[in-house]
Amino acid sequence: MADIPDPRSYPVPSGRFARARRMGGLATGLAGGVALGGAQALLRGQRPRLSDLVMTPGNITRLADRLSQMRGAAMKLGQLLSMEAGDMLPPEMEAILSRLRAEAHVMPPAQLKQVLADAYGADFRKLFRSFDTRPLAAASIGQVHRALTPEGQALAIKLQYPGVKDAIDSDLDNAAALIRWSGLWPAELDIRPLMAEARAQLHEEADYAREGAALARFGALLAGDDRFVVPRLDEARTRPSALAMSFEPAEPIERLADAPPDIRDRAVSALLDLCLRELFEFRLMQTDPNFANYRWRPDTGQIVLLDFGATREISHTMSEAYRALLRAGLERDQQGVLTALESIGFIKPGLSLAHRQTILEMSEMGFALLRGPEAFDFRGNDFADRMRQRGAQIGGERELWHIPPAETLFLQRKIGGLYLLATRLGAKVDVAAMVRCYV
């Protein structure tokens, strides 16, 4: 196990007190900058807003970097806020959240060795012929390393950052207090449901036994589908803070963009069909559509599926509500669309006639694509831009400000992420025919 320096390395603060002290130090630094900036503005005869003083370019960088260095709940909360509040956030807050969506820092070798010793014992080297100290990937809860067993089997080992699991609740409380204090969170949006969802999701993702079970379930569900490869769980080397699975060699999914059109189209069709099966057949969905969670094997055309920490059960009620929504949209049943959108919590009941019409117009933009006779060209259309512009207009209408239930949000995140991936790859898929098979 050779120590290879990584320019991204930064030690994870590992105790609740140490993490709270880091957050407190950040708040103190921001407050000091606010006081200085406020004094200077007053001398110039100005009356600045608190959010203007907090969100200077320097403070935006400082806040994003500190949350990224801490990893864990603080970083995950930023990612969730970005997903759930969308166009309703000011650009300063979005600048912070976009930095948190990037890959995290990684543990330095000394801390990595301690994490391995805590997970496997002081003689952890006996479990591996080799262990690459440079991670394959790093995220908010842990980082993934490649290793070889004494028998020569290649493994991917996901190691949880030290102290992250125990500090979830305190991290979230401290981060939420800082967000409220900054004045950047819109007062019209209740942050408490987001906090509750972030808390639940983080505790689930930090439960590696749960993720291992989800990995095994998906392996069984897709065992007969040669379009996909799911890593095999290695129970013998899995621990509460270490998830071991077979290493499945493959290339980044983005490489498909350079493949022939028929190969691109086939791969994206497989992913969209899998999403529909997850929603209507399995009622079990891996809800994180991060591109890094999909890999591609050029020699076989198979897609390797990774990271099942965000796997969620989908209720029968929710599954059927989405089926009703799609059916109503295909049949141009406007009342059915509104009823279905209310039942899944996507819009709140009691909207005015004008706002109901606004929602219907935006919905129709999407459903019109599902009624077309031809395959949908993800690259050759302006659908995403039109939806984004309409969403920004809706974001300015405060009566429509509403955060749907977590189950709806995560389904929408998966669907939206797959759309972005299909656009990136330039695929052309008969989405309408696929949807009709399920509704």
Can you name the residues that pair with 244 across neighbouring β-strands? 157
Active-site residue identified among 171, 234, 288, 307: 288
Give the number of other CB atoms < 10 A from CB of residue 21: 12
- What the block records as the tokens of 325 is 């929504």
- Judge whether 220 and 297 are in contact, CB under 8 Å: no
pLDDT: which is higher, 88 or 241: 241
Give first-to-last CA distance, the chain, whole Å.
53
The pLDDT of residue 23 is above 60: no
pLDDT tens by residue, 212-231: 999 999 999 999 999 999 99
DSSP codes of every residue in 130-179: EE-SS-SEE-SSEEEEEEE-TT--EEEEEEEPTTTTTTHHHHHHHHHHHH
Q: Is the pLDDT of residue 145 over 70?
A: yes
User: What is the token pair recorded at 170?
Assistant: 């305190």
DSSP 180-235: HHHT-S-TTS-SHHHHHHHHHHHHHHT-HHHHHHHHHHHHHHTTT-TTEE-PPB-G
When pLDDT is averaged across residues 98-103 and rounded to a whole number, the result is 53
Residue 327 pLDDT exceeds 80: yes
Kindly report the number of other CB atoms within 10 A of residue 253's CB atom: 21
CA angle 374, 438, 288 (to 5 degrees): 90
* Residue 204 near residue 210, CB atoms below 8 Å: yes
Amino acid identity for residue 20 in this structure:
A
User: Can you give the residue ranges of every domain in the chain?
Assistant: 1-248, 249-439
DSSP three-state, residue 79: helix
pTM strictly above 0.75: yes
Confirm whether 288 is a catalytic residue.
Answer: yes
pLDDT of residue 205 exceeding 60 = yes
Taking only the tens place, the pLDDT of each residue in 149-188 is 999 999 999 999 888 888 788 777 777 766 665 555 555 5
Q: Kindly report the number of other CB atoms within 10 A of residue 420's CB atom.
A: 13
Structure-model confidence comparison of residues 24 and 389, the more confident one = 389
Q: What share of the chain is helix, strand, coil (3-state, %, to 5)?
A: 55, 10, 30
Whole-angstrom distance, CA of residue 324 vs CA of residue 115: 48
Asked if the model's pLDDT at residue 97 lies above 50, the reply is yes
- pLDDT band for 292, please (50, 70, 90 cuts): confident
Query: Between 191 and 99, whose confidence is greater?
Result: 191
